[in-house]
Structures are given as structure tokens and as C-alpha cells.
């Protein structure tokens, strides 16, 4: 009959296993489920901290989180992986008092907004709607209350302006949200792309 392994033995075993092997054990061995679930959660948090810190700058001064292009081999992989962890990102934003959130991204040609969900990752329309609606809710939630500026340029093609306005109506700190990526060209014949909140008044502007 199997008996429950003590914590030290589980740690010794787990350190010699890949994540996929741990998952296999977790799925097949009820006795170890609780302990392995805890280990997997610890590994996830360690990975997420590494992921989020990669995009975080000016810690201790005016902390900002930006996905603007970095020229190393990790950038594209990390940027795409980030789309799976937006709720966890907002926990990170709250804990670290991030003041600026920049989902600003342009194509490799420069000057053109990059659609993170449709062109880069090819999510379905249903998946995109779920991600964007979740984003509105997170911006509206207390998790975002440290934010004063937000750029949603990577999601420009999927933003509903009315829903965006609603998400910041009662926000205590946000002063501006832009839906055009920094560095992308602005067409002044089109509708304005920056939403400002000043003294409780919300208005759109090209600047």
C-alpha cells in the first residue's frame, strides 16, 4: 500500500523531474496530488516573476511595464507568452505599484501598429473577445489603481471605445489611455486615439 511521502523526499524527487513529468505524476497519483500541486504553483510563480520583470523598468522610481521591442532572443517568446497571463500581470502591477502599462507594439516594418492577438498569435474571435473583456475588467478593478497611464496599442483593432470609457469612469488615478502604439503613425483624419481623464471629465484627443 502506498504511503504519503514526506516533504523532503518529494523535493528530492521533484528537482530531478521535468514539469511534464511532474504533471504526469500529478494526474496519476492521488496521494501526491496536494504536494505536487504546491510545487507546480511555486514553479509557475518563479517563471511569472522572471517573465514580468523582463518587461519592467525603473523599479523604485516610477515603475513601468512595457512590451516595446527588445533586441534579444527572448523578446518574441516572452511577449507572446505574456498574453496568456494578463490576470496574473495585474496582480504584479498592484504588488509593485506599476504606474505605466504599455502594451505598445509596432511591426518590424516600423510605424505600423502590431495586432498582438490576430496577426501575431492568430487567436479566434471568441478568444479575442474574452481577452479584451477581461482587460476592461482588470483596468476597472482595484488591481490597476496604481496606473496613471496605459497604452493598449497592441489591441487597437479590438477596442470598444464605449467599454473603455466605462472601465475608467471611477478609476482614481488613470489620466490617459492610448489605443495607438507609441511610434506608430497617427492619421489626424481618423477618430482620436487618446482618452484623457481630467477633473472627472473624459474626452478623446489625437495627442
Q: Of 38, 54, 70, which residue is a domain's last?
A: 54
160 and 199 housed in the same domain:
yes
111 and 20 housed in the same domain:
no
Q: CA dist 111 to 79, 91, 106, 135, 180, Å?
A: 19, 31, 6, 25, 11
Q: Is the dihedral of CA 200, 105, 90, 135 positive or negative?
A: positive
Closest residue by Cα to residue 96 from 40, 53, 125, 159: 53
* Higher local confidence (pLDDT), 78 or 207: 78
The predicted pLDDT at position 6 comes to: 56
The predicted pLDDT at position 62 comes to: 84
Overall number of domains in the chain: 2
95 and 130 housed in the same domain:
yes
Nearest 5°: the CA angle 181, 187, 192 is 70
79 and 60 housed in the same domain:
yes
109 and 147 housed in the same domain:
yes
pLDDT digits (tens, 9 = 90+) for 36-52: 788 889 999 999 999 99
Torsion angles phi and psi, residue 202, rounded to 5: -110, 130
**Domain span holding position 195:** 56-205
pTM of the shown model: 0.83
31 and 112 housed in the same domain:
no
The predicted pLDDT at position 3 comes to: 47
Residue at 2 is within a domain = no
The predicted pLDDT at position 2 comes to: 43
Amino acid at each position: 500500500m502506498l504511503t504519503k511521502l514526506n516533504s523532503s523526499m518529494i523535493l528530492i524527487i521533484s528537482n530531478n523531474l521535468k514539469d511534464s513529468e511532474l504533471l504526469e505524476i500529478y494526474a496519476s497519483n492521488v496521494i501526491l496530488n496536494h504536494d505536487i500541486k504546491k510545487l507546480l504553483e511555486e514553479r509557475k510563480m518563479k517563471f511569472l516573476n522572471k517573465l514580468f520583470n523582463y518587461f519592467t523598468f525603473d523599479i523604485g522610481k516610477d515603475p513601468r511595464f512595457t512590451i516595446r521591442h527588445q533586441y534579444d532572443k527572448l523578446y518574441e517568446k516572452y511577449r507572446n507568452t505574456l498574453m496568456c497571463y494578463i490576470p496574473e500581470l495585474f496582480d504584479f502591477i498592484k504588488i509593485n505599484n506599476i504606474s505605466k502599462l504599455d502594451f505598445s507594439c509596432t511591426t518590424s516594418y516600423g510605424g505600423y501598429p502590431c495586432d498582438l492577438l490576430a496577426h501575431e498569435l492568430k487567436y479566434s474571435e471568441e478568444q479575442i473577445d474574452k481577452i479584451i473583456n477581461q482587460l476592461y475588467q482588470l483596468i476597472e478593478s482595484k488591481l490597476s489603481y496604481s496606473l496613471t497611464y496605459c497604452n493598449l496599442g497592441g489591441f487597437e483593432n479590438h477596442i470598444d471605445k464605449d467599454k473603455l470609457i466605462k472601465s475608467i469612469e471611477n478609476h482614481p488615478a488613470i489620466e490617459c489611455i492610448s489605443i495607438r502604439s507609441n511610434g506608430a503613425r497617427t492619421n489626424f483624419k481618423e477618430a482620436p486615439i487618446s482618452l484623457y481623464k481630467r477633473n472627472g471629465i473624459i474626452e478623446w484627443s489625437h495627442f
